Amino acid sequence: MSTYTARPLEPAVLKELRTTDDAGRRVVPVTDEEGGAPLRCCLRRSAPGEHIALVSYAPLRRWAAGTGAAPGPYDEQGPVFIHADDCSGPDGDALPFTNSHRVVRRYSADGRILGGRLVTDTDPDGFGAAFDEAFTDPEVALVHVRAVEYGCFLYEVRRP
């Protein structure tokens, strides 16, 4: 089994998103009174009192812009939480947000969905096995880990 790394949103992308999100909306920071929001900048849950923002993010569109892919109708944007101000990024390399059911969605080099796999919180090696399975297929360029409940993008994993 290979080692896989969750990719947080890049600092340059975060800088853009902290001003205007991928839907063209101005960002409105808030104080998170309760905590628990899954932050895509540092790949952890927010703590009560942190300054965060909910922004629209288009992960496949941004990846495609750097690779020349044309995802067509698979280009989507959705809500993600980020720190409203700079943060230090992930603390360590453990895979985040694994304590719940997730979908590992596969994408081809041209940005098309190639399928996916449900990973449950009761499967101790569900993510590693899902990534191994995905990257065994030479057509798979990257995978997204997404929340089952809302389909929200959590992070990207690329070939090791």
Encode pLDDT of 8-44 as tens digits.
999 999 999 999 999 999 999 999 999 999 999 999 9
Tell me how far apart the alpha carbons of residues 18 and 103 are, in angstroms, rounded to a whole number: 27
Q: Are 53 and 28 in contact, with CB atoms under 8 Å apart?
A: yes
The torsion defined by the Cα of 49, 99, 118 and 106, in degrees rounded to 10, comes to 60
What pLDDT sits at residue 1?
A: 60
Q: How far apart are the first and last CA of the chain?
A: 11
Buried b (16+ CB within 10 A) or exposed e, 6-25: bbbbeeebbeebbeebbeee
What pLDDT sits at residue 40?
A: 97
pLDDT tens, 75-127? 999 999 999 999 999 998 888 998 889 999 999 999 999 999 999 988 767 89
> Is 90 exceeded by the pLDDT of residue 132?
yes
Count CB-CB contacts under 10 A for residue 99. Answer: 8
- Over range 43-69, report the average pLDDT: 96
State both tokens at 53: 């923002």
What pLDDT sits at residue 124?
A: 67
